Structure 1
Amino acid sequence: MSEQPTYNAASDDDEIDLRDLFLTLWHGKWLIISITLVFAVGGVVYALMQPNQYRAEATVAPATEEQGPQISGQLGSLASMAGVNIGEGGGSKTVIAKQILQSRAFLSDFIRRHELAVPLMATEGWNAETGEWIINREIYNPETGEWQQDEEGESLEPTDWDLVKRLRGMLSVSDSSDTGMITISIESQSPVAAQQWVEQLVADINEHMRQKDVAEAQSRINYLRNQVDETSITGMQQVFYQLIESETRTVMLANAQNEYVFQSIDPAVVPQEKSGPQRALICILATMLGGMLSVFAVFVRSFVRSLRES
């Protein structure tokens, strides 16, 4: 019996608090509506100003090596005796190729080889009707082929660091642990450029790895030939000749394979649907942010008024 009044008093306090909160929000309803509306309109304007982005992607698989691992197993001990490393398995080669594909040196050379500095750093958008980039003339002059200068007279020509940073922001390389497939994708304002750059990346990394392995194999062949000339032991000469044959086969197989490291399973195509921006989500988030900030502003205003009155 004695606890009942205390319970009712607590309930009355809660009811009063809720009523006060509701009255505070009701009195500040126009401030809430105004701030929320401003954020909503700002979100719509910002979303509409964002250019469309298109994602092109290619699915590749590690190219199989039919004879490489078998030869390595047969001649591994002989190669160790001669002080020669005759290569690694296909799995490790794929891992190396993935790392090289995203490396600064490879991407910098890729940008220079395909002349991508202007598309990456001096464009405002893509003209779908003409199929051409919209050049920002405040950064680059297409007539003279020269980069503009800033207010201090410094050239706006981007450095390799800037170019690689921009391309890395557009590039994505991911693999599936279940299937072993690798997805290489590029997101750009130009659907055509996105598709072309993905194709060029796959072709270039295959060529890069081919040239690298051929150069290393040729270097080992030259070394082994020198060892043959320097030794008079018939048994060691036979070992060297076997290793030379193995390295020569490596060079032949490398030159015979167009898809040396990555084999295309699903080549990149020109995307017809945009991948971003998500304009509806931007508008919703902006409106929600405005609503939360407006409610916070109303409570702050009410708190300040209560302090002044007290």
Structure 2
Amino acid sequence: MSQNNHSSPTTTTIPAYYMSPMSGDDEIDLLELWNALLIRKFLILFVFTLGVAVSIGIALWLPNVYTSTATLVPSEEQKGSGLSALANQFGGLASLAGVNIGGGATNDKASVAIEIANSRQFRVRFVHEHHLEVALMASNGVNKKTGELKIDSKIYDVQQQRWVRHVSEGRAAVPTDWELFKVINKLITITQDKKSGFVTVSVDFYSPQLAKQWTDWFIADLNQYMKNRDQVEAKRNIAYLKQQLEKTSVADMQTVFYQLIEEQTKTLMLSEVNPEYVFKTLDPAVVAEEKTKPKRALIVILGGILGGMFGVIIALIKYAANRRNKSVAA
């Protein structure tokens, strides 16, 4: 009798721990977790209460910050200024006589002013001109009774009028321009709405009166800076054009130079008589009556949420540790 050459299929026994992703001891029972949290509810409540208490302390410790805002509108919409604007009209004729009066890309004067207002040079100059160093670097709040700034005696000695702050070796106690710029950059913002063209200047500070005053100063200084800048440019252009006028005997070119000098003289006159040279104030800054920061209720809510989360995490860690100890003991 012949034997069957076909072998019967073998049956492989798979260990139980391969059949299930977790063994019985490692399975997570949501009901068990819930019971574990209920058992440790007082621990969770304690951590939650601690988080709320800490957040309340932080919220009360943080000083009020007030915001003063002014809305501006560019006083002129023309692009470019000085010779760069006039070159579009007279550059061709002037080039016939070998005279280069500039040209190239021109920029909206308001946009240039905004970039200057955001520059380190302008902001540091603003701080120094108005003596804001102590207010920026050493103040930590306002005395509610007197309205005066609270000065940290560990940073600045008011009686001796000198800086006493502790700094790393090799650095001076007097704040550097870079430090002043970083602080003032957080307090003063200037932005422009691309659609309407309106410009907004905002100042955040502990004192609402100083915030309003700084806003006015900042706008006035920016207008004055741009005015001085254009006056210097116009005077330089007039001097240059007069030199070129003396060098040419062509009547047409002399006419061109006279017109250019006339336009530059107009620019110079307008800059002298107009105090709001680049920006006109639509909505002036006022002394704020309500604080903008800190959001104390939000701080307390976040503190409670974080406290509750940490409480749950600690309870779960304790539950996992106890479960592991029991499995090891078994």
TM-score past 0.5 threshold: yes
CA change 1:262–1:19 in 2 (3 A) is same
Tell whether the 8 Å contact from 2:68 to 2:286 is kept in structure 1 after alignment: yes
* CA distance 1:308–1:156, shift in 2 (3 Å): same
Is residue 240 from structure 1 mapped to residue 252 from structure 2 by the alignment? no
Q: In structure 1, which of residues 285, 295, 302 is the aligned counterpart of residue 312 of structure 2?
A: 295
Alignment equivalent of 1:105, drawn from 121, 125, 141 = 121
Match in the other structure for 2:154: 138
Q: Does 1:171 align with 2:178?
A: no
1:281-292 aligned at under 5 Å gives the runs: 281-292=298-309
| 2:50 corresponds to | 38
Q: Distance in 2 between matches of 1:151 and 1:76?
A: 55
Structure 1 pair 57–224 and aligned structure 2 pair: CA distance change class (3 A): same
**Could you tell me which amino acid in structure 1 is paired with residue 31 of structure 2?**
R
Cα pair 1:79 1:243 within 8 Å, conserved: no
After the TM superposition, which residues 143-292 of structure 1 pair with which residues of structure 2 at under 5 Å, given as runs? 143-150=159-166, 155-292=172-309
**CA, structure 1 residues 121+246, in 2 after alignment: closer, same or farther (shift >3 Å)?**
same
User: Shift of residue 67 of structure 1?
Assistant: 11
Q: 247-256 or 133-142, which moves further after superposition?
A: 133-142
Q: Secondary structure at the match of 2:108?
A: helix
Q: Which amino acid aligns with 1:219?
A: R
1:72–1:155 CA distance, 2 compared to 1 (3 A): closer
Measured in 2, the distance between the counterparts of 1:144 and 1:186 equals 29
Mapped contact 2:114–2:191 kept (Cα < 8 A):
no
- Report if the CA contact (8 A) 1:140-1:146 is conserved: yes
Name whichever of 200-209 and 128-137 sits farther off: 128-137
Task: Provide the alpha-carbon RMSD of the alignment.
Answer: 2.5
Corresponding letter in the other structure for 2:233: E
Would the alpha carbon gap of residues 65 and 299 (structure 1) be closer, same or farther in structure 2, given more than 3 Å must change? closer
Shift of 1:155: 4.1
Q: Which residue is equivalent to 1:3?
A: none
Structure 2 residues without counterparts, runs of 5 or longer: 1-23
**Which of these two proteins has the greater Rg computed from alpha carbons?**
2
Amino acid at match of 2:236: S
Could you say what secondary structure the match of 1:277 adopts? coil
C-alpha distance 149-288 of structure 1, shift in aligned 2 (>3 A): closer
CA displacement at 1:66 relative to structure 2: 8.1
The structure-2 alpha-carbon separation of the partners of 1:68 and 1:136, relative to structure 1 and needing over 3 Å to count, comes to closer
What is the SS of the residue equivalent to 2:64?
A: coil
Going from structure 1 to structure 2, the CA distance change for 1:74 and 1:100 (only over 3 Å counts) comes to closer
Give TM-score scaled by structure 1 length. Answer: 0.88
Identify which of 61, 67, 71 aligns with 1:49.
61
Q: Which residue of 2 aligns with 1:92?
A: 108
Give identity over the alignment, percent: 36
- Structure 1 equivalent of residue 18 of structure 2: none
- In structure 2, C-alpha distance between the alignment counterparts of 1:101 and 1:66, rounded to whole Å: 20
- Is contact 1:149–1:155 with CA below 8 Å preserved after alignment? no
Contact 1:75 1:243 in 2 (8 A): no
CA distance in 2, matches of 1:68, 1:244: 17
Give SS of 1:119's match: helix
Deviates more, 1:117-126 or 1:282-291: 117-126
**CA drift at 1:87:** 10
Map Cα deviations across residues 48-68 of structure 1 (whole Å, 9 max, x no partner): 000000000100011126898
1:286 is paired with a residue of what secondary structure?
helix
Counterpart AA for 1:38: L
Query: CA–CA distance in 1 between the matches of 2:43 and 2:161?
Result: 53
TM-score (norm: length of structure 2): 0.83
Matched ranges for 1:122-133 at <5 A: 122-133=138-149
Distance 1:260 1:139, change over 3 A: same
CA shift digits 1:227-253 (9 cap, x unpaired): 111222222121111111111111111
- Secondary structure at the aligned position of 1:40 is classed as helix
Query: Number of matched residues?
Result: 294
User: Are the counterparts in 2 of residues 107 and 164 from structure 1 also a CA contact under 8 Å?
Assistant: yes
2:29 match: secondary structure: helix
